[in-house]
């Protein structure tokens, strides 16, 4: 950089150089003038000397020479030459000759006159010469100025009607200065047709006294066809009588100016168009933040018109702008700095939007202006918000991922991690960022990391197992997947999965497989999977059940079929076919015949797995070895049969015990029949026979025969071995029949019977014969017990009543010795008897019958003596609801509850 002082000194030097050059040139000119002058003087001296001219004449010649030479310009040279010439006159022409001495006073006078004349003439010549030079120079400058400014003059003389044009004006018109006759007409023709009339009018108007000054702009069409724009103005000189004498004017070619103006206007328009179409809002402010101009975008953004905005201040629509902020902005702008900040603008409707403001300083005529570019960043903010939200979403995804994410840069330093990575390693995110794999990987060496990196650079996704170390020093196995990608540089992403759980899961799976195998073994359940192509899988238990060797691989389907019992094979095949057709689950039971001749019962359940098209892909089948169950079932059936047989035997026993009583019951009607038949016969023998009476007698016979038949029928029912029935049993009727059967035995044992039955008939659902068997057992036991006691009345009471819970309670009371409390439960055990001839099965069978009917049987002490046996039965409408039949409210707390527990284990099992 050149500082001012240095520049000035250089300038001075240059000026000095210029000055010395000019001086030298002037000195040279003076020298040339002097030499020329001396040469001229010498020539004149020689000529005058030869011609014999005297001092006066020679002096005159000298004056002419010196004057001529002085035309060369230098007055100092002329002075020198005048002095030299005076010396020549003295030496060559004044006496004494050839001596610088003057003897004659006239000569002195003459030489002095010569000197004076010479100096005066040369001074005048020099001055005139200089004036002429100056004039010429000025003229040249004027011409130059005219040319430069395209400016010239014109003059019109109204007395001669002559027009003069300066050279430049001629050039502007494109005419030669010589062709100027009839100028006015030619002038008009040179004017552009559109401007011609106006120009002629203005020219004429200027010549009217008091009219407007001639000053106009018009276009010329030059003879060569080019067009120019000129401005011409002129003033008129008037004579005393108000006549125009002359008009002098100047003209300037302003084509370039107008063109430049036009260009400027066009460029201004272009600029405004550009500015108006800019997507940013432009504001031009003065120093006080008053709006000087705005573009269209500014108007659109703020909702004001341009003329409304101009004159407003930035405070009017900038809710964040404060005087202090404005002051700071102003200071920065004064320092020539650009100010940028994110702010807000308020629209005319009051709504506010975010803007990015960028202000530049602009100096105009010493004034600080500010150009502000305000960008509506609503979209950008929205996009930024979107981006932030999407980033957050991504982070949420990443954070909720079950895998740990690690993002590495090219130097294997962690750039980012997810929550899982922090949790698995026990570090915070900040702690992990910047770490190197070797900081938390205990298995990877630097060389392996480098190898992995190279593989990832080859666009490979690497997978490997390693161990990660937690902050607390413990380590755990992980499976890592890693890949490389570009995002603002080379990045590596690795996903680490804690495979402790996987290992545990594998272990759990192994264990559960073992459990399953064990469970299959224990439950004798085998599983197989097969499809049309054959067997796909057989579980160990399946091999065991079918007695195939697992070492020989999956058994051939034909061999499996062969193993099915020949009697069951066709049925199984048929059912299989049907199940395949229906594509449903199905169960089939069959036998298999093993090599050693053993038979196994198999319960097979098959479940088809269907393809999305609905075709059977595979069939999963379970095979349960139910041989044991079958055996147990058979045994249970046998037991049941045994139970039934026992009950039957019990009934037979009762019938045996009641033989006498029953015989009496049958004999009684038979005897009556006989008597009535006899009486009938006698009536027939009468003459005439009383047929009416006979008919009555025969009616009695039929009734009594029916009675006997009924009794026999009932006995047969009790003797008959029939499967248990489920019918509606009228309890009152059943009780009546039982009393009929035991009546004779009672009479014989002097036992009085009392029945107290329910008001409404009581019905239960069950087997009448079995229920009567229970009552008979209880009655016979009671009778026996009472017979064992000598004294006291023997009273038997049978009652039915409704329990509060809904069932029917039947009680059989006696006035016998009763049962000791500690024996009350034992008497229901099979083979428990206190009688020498007893079997001890009666009560056990009774309880089993009542249990089978959904009721309960128990015993208590009767008041004032004896025993009471009670049993409940569900009423007919509730017979299916066993629980509702429990009349526990009537049971004594201590023993009643025990009753259901001791429910005849011998028979039940």
Chain residues binding ligand ADP by CB under 6 A are 777, 781-782, 785, 814, 816-817, 819, 827, 832-835, 838-843, 867
Nearer to ligand ADP, 357 or 843 (CB): 843
Nearer to ligand ADP, 782 or 809 (CB): 782
Nearer to ligand ADP, 250 or 839 (CB): 839
User: Of all helices (H) and strands (E), which one includes residue 292?
Assistant: strand 291-294
- Here the contacts of 301-306 (C-beta below 8 Å, separation 24 or greater) are 301/345, 301/347, 301/353, 301/355, 301/374, 301/376, 302/345, 302/346, 302/347, 302/348, 303/347, 303/348, 303/349, 304/348
To ligand ADP, the closest distance from the beta carbon of 885 in angstroms equals 23
Nearer to ligand ADP, 191 or 779 (CB): 779
To ligand ADP, the closest distance from the beta carbon of 830 in angstroms equals 8
Nearer to ligand ADP, 281 or 782 (CB): 782
To ligand ADP, the closest distance from the beta carbon of 823 in angstroms equals 7
Torsion sign (Cα): 582, 585, 591, 594: positive
DSSP for residue 290: B
Torsion sign (Cα): 575, 580, 585, 590: positive
To ligand ADP, the closest distance from the beta carbon of 654 in angstroms equals 10
To ligand ADP, the closest distance from the beta carbon of 778 in angstroms equals 7
To ligand ADP, the closest distance from the beta carbon of 555 in angstroms equals 58
| Rounded CA separation 322/327 (Å) | 9
Q: How many CB atoms lie within 10 A of CB 425?
A: 23
Nearer to ligand ADP, 731 or 841 (CB): 841
DSSP for residue 555: P
Residue 310: φ, ψ to 5°: -65, 125
User: Of all helices (H) and strands (E), which one includes residue 861?
Assistant: strand 857-861
Q: Are 121 and 129 in contact (CB under 8 A)?
A: no
Q: Are 169 and 154 in contact (CB under 8 A)?
A: yes
Nearer to ligand ADP, 701 or 827 (CB): 827
| Rounded CA separation 173/186 (Å) | 10
To ligand ADP, the closest distance from the beta carbon of 834 in angstroms equals 3
Nearer to ligand ADP, 616 or 839 (CB): 839
Task: Characterize the bridge pairing of strands 795-802 and 752-756.
Answer: parallel
To ligand ADP, the closest distance from the beta carbon of 789 in angstroms equals 10
Torsion sign (Cα): 836, 840, 841, 847: positive
To ligand ADP, the closest distance from the beta carbon of 869 in angstroms equals 7
Q: Are 66 and 117 in contact (CB under 8 A)?
A: no
User: Of all helices (H) and strands (E), which one includes residue 113?
Assistant: helix 105-149
Nearer to ligand ADP, 520 or 862 (CB): 862
| Rounded CA separation 703/206 (Å) | 172
Nearer to ligand ADP, 733 or 820 (CB): 820
Q: Are 589 and 601 in contact (CB under 8 A)?
A: yes
Residues 6+ away with beta carbon under 8 Å from 573: 561
Beta-bridged to residue 464, according to DSSP, are: 480
Nearer to ligand ADP, 696 or 840 (CB): 840
Nearer to ligand ADP, 729 or 819 (CB): 819
Q: How many CB atoms lie within 10 A of CB 525?
A: 19
Output the six-digit token pair for 235. Answer: 């003033």
| Rounded CA separation 871/847 (Å) | 9
Output the six-digit token pair for 768. Answer: 């009448």
Residue 394: φ, ψ to 5°: -60, -40
To ligand ADP, the closest distance from the beta carbon of 838 in angstroms equals 3
Residues 6+ away with beta carbon under 8 Å from 563: 546, 547, 592, 593, 594
To ligand ADP, the closest distance from the beta carbon of 858 in angstroms equals 12
To ligand ADP, the closest distance from the beta carbon of 891 in angstroms equals 18
Nearer to ligand ADP, 69 or 827 (CB): 827
To ligand ADP, the closest distance from the beta carbon of 634 in angstroms equals 29
């Amino acid at each position: 950089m050149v500082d001012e002082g240095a520049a000035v000194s250089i300038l001075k030097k240059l000026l000095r150089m210029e000055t010395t050059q000019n001086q030298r040139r002037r000195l040279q000119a003076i020298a040339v003038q002097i030499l020329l002058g001396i040469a001229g003087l010498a020539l004149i001296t020689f000529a005058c000397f030869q011609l014999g001219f005297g001092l006066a004449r020679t002096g005159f010649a000298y004056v002419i020479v010196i004057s001529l030479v002085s035309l060369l310009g230098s007055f100092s040279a002329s002075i020198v030459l005048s002095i030299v010439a005076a010396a020549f006159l003295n030496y060559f022409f004044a006496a004494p000759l050839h001596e610088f001495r003057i003897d004659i006073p006239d000569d002195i006078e003459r030489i002095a006159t010569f000197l004076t004349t010479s100096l005066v003439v040369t001074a005048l010549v020099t001055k005139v010469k200089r004036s002429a030079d100056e004039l010429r120079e000025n003229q040249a400058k004027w011409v130059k100025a005219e040319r430069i400014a395209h400016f010239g003059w014109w003059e019109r003389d109204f007395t001669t009607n002559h027009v003069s044009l300066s050279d430049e004006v001629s050039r502007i018109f494109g005419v030669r200065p010589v062709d100027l006759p009839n100028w006015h007409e030619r002038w008009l023709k040179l004017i552009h047709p559109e401007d011609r009339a106006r120009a002629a009018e203005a020219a004429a108007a200027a010549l009217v006294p008091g009219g407007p000054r001639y000053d106009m702009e018009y276009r010329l069409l030059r003879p060569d066809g080019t067009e120019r724009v000129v401005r011409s103005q002129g003033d008129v000189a008037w004579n005393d009588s108000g006549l125009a004498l002359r008009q002098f004017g100047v003209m300037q070619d302003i084509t370039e100016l107008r063109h430049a103006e036009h260009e400027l206007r066009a460029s201004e328009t272009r600029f405004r168009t550009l500015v108006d179409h800019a997507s940013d809002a432009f504001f031009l402010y003065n120093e006080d933040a008053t709006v000087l101009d705005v573009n269209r975008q500014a108007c659109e953004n703020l909702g004001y018109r341009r003329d409304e905005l101009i004159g407003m201040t930035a405070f009017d629509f900038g809710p964040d702008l404060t005087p202090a902020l404005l002051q700071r902005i102003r200071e920065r702008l004064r320092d020539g700095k650009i100010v940028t900040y994110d702010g807000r603008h308020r629209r005319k409707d009051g709504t506010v939007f975010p803007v990015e403001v960028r202000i530049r300083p602009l100096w105009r005529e010493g004034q600080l202006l500010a150009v502000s570019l305000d960008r509506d960043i609503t979209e950008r903010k929205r996009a930024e918000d979107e981006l932030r939200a999407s980033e957050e979403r991504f982070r949420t995804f990443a954070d909720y991922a079950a895998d740990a994410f690690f993002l590495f840069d090219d130097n294997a330093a962690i750039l980012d991690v997810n929550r899982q990575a922090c949790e698995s390693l026990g570090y915070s995110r900040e702690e992990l960022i910047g770490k190197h794999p070797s900081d938390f990987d205990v298995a990877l060496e630097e060389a392996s990391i480098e190898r992995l990196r190279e593989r990832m650079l080859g666009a490979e996704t690497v997978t490997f197992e390693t161990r990660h170390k937690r902050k607390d020093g413990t380590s755990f196995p992980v499976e890592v997947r890693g890949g490389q990608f570009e995002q603002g540089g080379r990045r590596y992403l690795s996903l680490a999965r804690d495979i402790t759980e996987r290992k545990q899961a594998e272990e759990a799976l192994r264990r559960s497989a073992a459990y399953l195998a064990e469970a299959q073994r224990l439950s004798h359940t085998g599983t197989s999977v097969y499809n049309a192509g054959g067997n796909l899988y057989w579980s160990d238990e399946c091999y065991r059940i079918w007695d195939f060797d697992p070492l020989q691989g999956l058994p051939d389907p034909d061999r499996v079929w062969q193993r099915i019992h020949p009697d069951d094979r066709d049925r199984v095949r048929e059912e299989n076919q049907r199940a395949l057709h229906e594509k449903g689950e199905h169960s089939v039971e069959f036998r298999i015949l093993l090599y050693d001749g053993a038979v196994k019962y198999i319960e097979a359940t098959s479940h088809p797995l269907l393809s999305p098209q609905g075709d059977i892909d595979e069939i999963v089948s379970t095979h349960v070895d139910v041989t044991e169950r079958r055996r147990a079932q058979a045994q249970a059936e046998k037991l049941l049969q045994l139970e039934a047989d026992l009950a039957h035997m019990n009934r037979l026993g009762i019938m045996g015990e009641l033989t006498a009583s029953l015989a009496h019951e049958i004999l009684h009607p038979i005897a009556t029949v006989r008597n009535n038949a006899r009486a009938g016969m006698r009536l027939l023998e009468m003459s005439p026979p009383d047929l009416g009476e006979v008919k009555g007698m025969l009616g009695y016979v039929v009734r009594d025969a029916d009675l006997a038949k009924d009794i026999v029928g009932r006995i047969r029912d009790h003797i008959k071995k029939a499967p248990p029935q489920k019918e509606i049993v009228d309890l009152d009727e059943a009780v009546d029949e039982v009393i009929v059967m035991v009546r004779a035995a009672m009479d014989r044992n002097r036992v009085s019977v009392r029945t107290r039955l329910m008001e409404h008939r009581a019905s239960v659902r069950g087997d009448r014969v079995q229920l009567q068997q229970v009552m008979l057992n209880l009655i016979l036991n009671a009778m026996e017990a009472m017979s064992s006691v000598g004294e006291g009345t023997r009273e038997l009471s049978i009652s039915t009543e409704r329990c509060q819970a809904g069932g029917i309670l039947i009680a059989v009371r006696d006035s016998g010795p009763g049962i000791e409390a500690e024996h009350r439960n034992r008497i229901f055990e099979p083979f428990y008897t206190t009688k020498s001839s007893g079997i001890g099965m009666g009560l056990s069978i009774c309880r089993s019958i009542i249990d089978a009917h959904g009721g309960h049987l128990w015993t208590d002490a009767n008041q004032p003596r004896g025993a009471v046996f009670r049993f409940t039965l569900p009423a007919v409408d509730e017979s299916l609801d066993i629980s509702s039949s429990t009349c526990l409210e009537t049971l004594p707390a201590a023993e009643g509850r025990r009753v259901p527990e001791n429910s005849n284990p011998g028979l039940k099992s």
